Amino acid sequence: MKQFKAMMKYELIDMSSRKSVFIMSILLPVIFFLVFSALMQTPNPKELSFYIRDYMLSMTTFSLVSFAILTFPVEMINDKNNGWSRALFRTPLNPMVYYLCKVIKIMIMYMIAILIVFLVGHFFKDVNMSAKEWVISYIGLLFGGLIFLTFGLLLAQFKDTQKASTLGNILYLGLAMLGGLWFPVITFPEWLQPIAKLTPTYNFKNIAAGLFEKEYPWHSIGILLIYAIVFIILSVVIRRKTDVI
């Protein structure tokens, strides 16, 4: 327990020292949400309300993805490159405590990001949901974000921070567009829609947005879990190969 408390304290101090990265990961999606939702126009108030709520969930997902595939892997790589993680593992510290604290820190970032976007949606864009719907959407996004960390774990196998960051940014923007976070998948060409619905970002958001469908999209959870298993297996294989080299 002492190891966990000490490591967690360090991670929280580290998080507070990276305010600029943390703020930008939330500020950019919030700006997109406010700008694009202001451009939405439809004569049907209920339809407009649906679109704004859906876009709020999209931008919340967009924010969480940045923490998962940009912040998380870059921190892990930096810890390896500067010898911090290696030095820690030479102490009595259990490696699992190190990884657990990293995950908890990202989850705290998730919780703050979701809360901020939800507050902006409610107070600035009049997004109204029942308490149950807010809670379920919140938990769904946290769950999806936790699974999405396996994507970050795969990127963390890079030895070079620049390469991981470059690839992470490409995937971040590419998956956001292809997964329908910026524009609804229904507006895509018919041949592209089935592909978009298989992306991890689409299913990540769908875990929260699916609450408002006639039938909850349980398949989205299954698809995300399949991605997670693939990412973990690839991470283990790459790790073993690099350790041998």
Tell me what pLDDT residue 7 has.
Answer: 87
Residues 125-128: contacts with CB within 8 Å, 24+ apart?
125/33, 125/34, 125/37, 125/52, 125/56, 126/49, 126/52, 127/49, 127/52, 127/53, 127/56, 128/49
161-178 and 131-155 helices, crossing angle to 10°: 140
Give the count of domains, the chain.
1
Q: Give Dmax over CA atoms of the chain in angstroms.
A: 64
Q: State whether residue 96 is helix, strand or coil.
A: helix
Q: Note the pLDDT tens digit of each residue in 187-200.
A: 899 999 999 999 99
Domain span including residue 224? 2-244
- Yes or no: say if 101 and 4 are a contact pair by the CB < 8 Å rule: yes
Tell me what pLDDT residue 196 has.
Answer: 96
Q: How confident is the model at residue 139 (pLDDT cuts 50, 70, 90)?
A: very high
Q: Note the pLDDT tens digit of each residue in 197-245.
A: 999 999 999 998 888 888 888 999 999 999 999 999 999 998 888 765 5
Assess whether pLDDT exceeds 60 at residue 30. Answer: yes
Q: How confident is the model at residue 137 (pLDDT cuts 50, 70, 90)?
A: very high
Give, in degrees to the nearest 5, the angle at Cα 30 between 45 and 183. 60
Across the chain, mean pLDDT equals 90
Structure tokens at 125: 């864009």
Q: Note the pLDDT tens digit of each residue in 163-174.
A: 999 999 999 999
Which of 80-84, 99-103, 112-116, 234-238 has the lowest average pLDDT? 80-84
Tell me what pLDDT residue 39 has.
Answer: 84
Q: Which residue has the higher pLDDT, 59 or 96?
A: 59
Tell me what pLDDT residue 6 has.
Answer: 84
Tell me what pLDDT residue 170 has.
Answer: 94
Q: Note the pLDDT tens digit of each residue in 38-94.
A: 888 877 888 889 899 999 999 999 999 999 999 999 999 998 888 888 887 788 778
Tell me what pLDDT residue 143 has.
Answer: 94
Which class for 111: exposed (0-12), middle (13-18), buried (19 or more C-beta within 10 A)? Answer: middle
Tell me what pLDDT residue 88 has.
Answer: 79
- The rounded distance, in Å, linking the Cα atoms of 205 and 78 is 29
Mean pLDDT across 171-184: 93
Query: In the block, which residue shows the tokens 């876009």?
Result: 55
Q: How many CA atoms lie within 13 A of 81 on its CB side?
A: 14
